[in-house]
Amino acid sequence: MGATPFHHSILEVRLPKHFDKSTDMRYDGTQDPQEHLTAFEARMNLEGVGNEVRCRAFSVSLVGHVIRWFNNLPQGSMARFSDISRAFLAQFTTKIAKANHPINLLGITQRSGEPTRKYLDRFNDECLKINGLTDSVANLCLTNGLLNEDFRKHLTTKSVWTMQEIQSVAREYINDEEVSQVTIGFLTV
């Protein structure tokens, strides 16, 4: 076997017979490396494999100049998956997506004529991009951007709502809003 960045302890381990060497996860250096690592680790957790198999499988997920970079790492330098993760993130650090800050949510406001459902979809999509978002901050920003006055008033009846509680209450307001739109449409026909 030629030069490899894997420590000999990794090369000695055989892949389990049941192991799925699927190549549907590919990293070519253009995406966020943290997202690739997270997806890869989730896949390995699902497979129930240990450190050595993770190391060997990770190289299969790399393509193009990224696999060339990996193969040029010092021979025997990768003994643990944490070594690979650290080197990988360091090499592709400029591709890490800029973290969104909760203050960005203040810019998500319901547009005039926009159904509450659409507003909540946009708001929720932005929430997913923010690490460590608290319910109290999300609640404040959501309430600030709402044009639906009845819904807004309802959200101010309690100091802090969880996002699950807000979604539950929102369903009622969305249903009422959509029924009234259907009724208005029916009456104008």
d(C-alpha 18, C-alpha 188), whole Å: 62
pTM above 0.85, yes or no: no
Q: Over the stretch 51-92, which tens digit does the pLDDT of each residue have?
A: 999 999 999 899 999 999 999 999 999 999 999 999 999 999
Cα distance between the two ends of the chain: 77
Domains of the chain: 8-95 (no CATH), 102-187 (1.10.1200)
Measured between alpha carbons, how far is residue 114 from residues 59, 85, 147, 171 in Å? 47, 43, 9, 16
Averaged in consecutive runs of 10 residues, what is the pLDDT profile of the chain (189 residues)?
A: 82 83 82 92 90 91 95 94 96 85 89 91 90 87 89 80 86 84 62
Residue 132: the pLDDT is 85
Buried b (16+ CB within 10 A) or exposed e, 65-98: ebbebbeebeeeebbebebbbebbeeebeebeee
Q: What is the pLDDT, as a whole number, of residue 23?
A: 63
Please tell me the predicted confidence (pLDDT) of residue 22. 64
Q: With contact defined as beta carbons under 8 Å apart, do 114 and 152 qualify?
A: no
